[in-house]
Amino acid sequence: MTTPLPLPRFQELADAYGGVIARWPAAVRDAARVTAMHPVAAAILAQALLLDETLDAWQLAAPPARLRDAVLARAPDRTPDRTIVRSARLWWSGVGIAATLAGATAGIAAVAMLGPIDAPSDAVTSFGDIGAQES
């Protein structure tokens, strides 16, 4: 069984947090509810509730839609933009084409320059004996 909260502490909490025990610190709520059954405690709560209700008279309007839109308009746009994605794809395909061309050029140059070591004539290349093919 929950031990009741001492009346002086009950009074302090009602003075601070008001007449709704759900707003009081979680650790004391159960004990406070037990104490609240006492007539003196019930009167303390009723008095605190009276002030709560008075304070609740100060109501404000909901935020206008234009403010919500303005707040969202200043949010960062981190979603990948389609234009950026397309540009990135083009960039990478450009890199691929350039690399392919560079490789092909280097290969042709190497093949053309490096003839077989035992080439019988200047007409013999890695692609074969050009002179013999021509004759």
Closest to another protein by CB, 63 vs 133, is: 63
Closest to another protein by CB, 39 vs 76, is: 76
- In order of 19, 32, 39, 86, the CA distances from 43 in angstroms are 10, 13, 6, 71
CB of 22 to another protein, least distance (A): 10
Residue for token digits 């004996």? Answer: 129
CB of 48 to another protein, least distance (A): 8
Q: What token pair was written down for 78?
A: 């981190």
Which residues contribute to the site for another protein (CB under 8 A)? 12-13, 15-18, 23-26, 48, 50-52, 54-55, 57-63, 67-68, 70-72, 74-79
Cα(53)–Cα(51) distance, integer angstroms: 5
